[in-house]
Amino acid sequence: MNRTSLTQAFLAWKASLTRYVATFFVSREDIEDTVQEVYLQALASERTTEIRSPSSYLFRVARNIALNKKARQRKVFFENLEQFGDSIGEDDAPSVFDQVYGKQKLRALSEAIEALPPQCRKVFLMQRMDGLSYKEIAGRLGISTRTVEKHLEKALRRCAEHLLTQGFAENETDNVTSFAKYKASE
């Protein structure tokens, strides 16, 4: 396949690729960057790989790039979450015990989020990280607002349950679930 035919295939499938990549990302910028990366990587690979089915190849490249980016984003998110946990209360000079306890709780919460089913985790992170409303999440994922609520309820319940199994007191899981009541009242 030559560069012209790969470019033609990319242009023909660009809208579909964009919709596909949008299932992985919330940010328009991430979606557009990923689609552009797909084209560039496909062009670079074309020199060493025979591409028999351009559309299948483009979608496979899109999936691989999106999954790699999501993994990097998730890693950065959890690193930032830990750093945030490290910085909480610096002015109050918490005891070493409080610092260690806070880090353990943060680690347990990170584990709980990682263990969520993919769609549930996506809804949870879109709401918590991106600050999207239920309606915005529903629109982006093509699901009802009621389904968004159910995913968030499930995420919060599982996070709270995980914290309990890790030895955190029930009253310490209240702040994990309280934001759902807060968001539902908005």
Per residue in 4-61, pLDDT (tens digit) is 688 889 999 999 999 999 988 878 888 999 999 999 998 888 888 888 889 999 999 9
The pLDDT assigned to 10 comes to: 92
- Nearest one of 169, 182, 186, 176 to 154, comparing CA atoms: 176
Q: For the chain, what percent of residues have pLDDT higher than 90?
A: 33
Q: Report domain extents, the chain.
A: 3-67, 93-184
Is there a shared CATH topology between the 3-67 domain and the 93-184 domain?
no
**174, two tokens:** 């209240």
Query: CATH classification of 3-67 is 1.10.1740, yes or no?
Result: yes
Q: What's the CATH architecture for 93-184?
A: Orthogonal Bundle (1.10)
Report field, pTM of the whole predicted structure over 0.85: no
Cα–Cα distance measured from residue 153 to residue 135, given in angstroms and rounded to the nearest whole number: 16
